[in-house]
Amino acid sequence: MRKQIDDNRMVRINKYLAMCGVASRRSADELVAAGRIMVNGKIAVEAGLKIDPSTDEIIVDGRMLALPEQKKVYILFNKPKNVITTNSDEKNRDTVLDHISVKERVYPVGRLDRKTTGVLLLTNDGNLANKLMHPSSNVKKEYIALLDNRFPHTLLLQLTGGMRLRDTGEKVMPCQAKILDDGLQVWLSIHEGKNHQVRRMFETLGFEVRRLDRVAYAGLKAGDLRRGDWRYLSRREVQQLNQQAGIRI
């Protein structure tokens, strides 16, 4: 069952921004008016908007926020199919937070589309999240794609060499790939995170991705974690993530 909103947790967006040290309440209203605040993926348009700091995702000028006094939490989630990678959904669909029970407000680092399964990192460490998602971090993401037809070795170079996507003409960076088993499955390792990138790469070459599973993110793997389950990261895993992001701790 989806959790009911607790009115006692709701605060005005300008108060929340002031609590995070972003701006005074008056300046926060100006940020909203300028369209620089996003709440759960949508631009905030009302200065008096109330948000729930424990669940809502707040982004200012492209940077996610977390209350400074919160304990930092790092979670690895094995996302099932048809789970939305947002903190809330206006259509009342199943979201990642419906599967994770922690008192801290956490949010996904990057996104997996509704149909894609696999490894997803969630945290309230906004600094780490922003650095991991920045292109300069070159975070490796590994996928296994199940295709509608066998993938030939003759197309591997085209897949990995830095192709142009057919739908937009946008160029993607070179990547790594390996054909598995009978050729219907392909392992792919990329360093970018363009919208639906893996699916669009295969579509450019004339293949439909029937199932897509992210098997690793920044070196994190699901391991024995069953689909729909989650766990806290170990201290060593957190240290490795910070190293990848270029953060000294």
Q: Contact, 74 vs 237, CB < 8 A?
A: yes
Q: Based on the number of CB atoms within 10 Å of its own CB, is 49 exposed (0-12), middle (13-18) or buried (19 or more)?
A: middle
Candidates 130, 111, 119; CA nearest to 194 is 111
Q: Which tokens in the block code for residue 57?
A: 């995702």
Residue the block writes with tokens 């192709």? 163
Contact 94, 82 (CB under 8 A): yes
Distance of alpha carbon 206 from alpha carbon 116, whole angstroms: 19
Contact status, residue 100 vs residue 75, Cβ threshold 8 Å: yes
Contacts of 46 (CB under 8 A, 6+ apart): 32
Rounded to an integer, what distance in angstroms lies between the CA atom of residue 119 and that of residue 220?
A: 7
> Among this protein's residues, is 229 annotated catalytic?
no
| Residues across the chain | 249
Q: Which helix (H) or strand (E) holds 33?
A: helix 25-33
Q: Single out the catalytic residue among 6, 61, 113, 167.
A: 113
Active site residues: 113
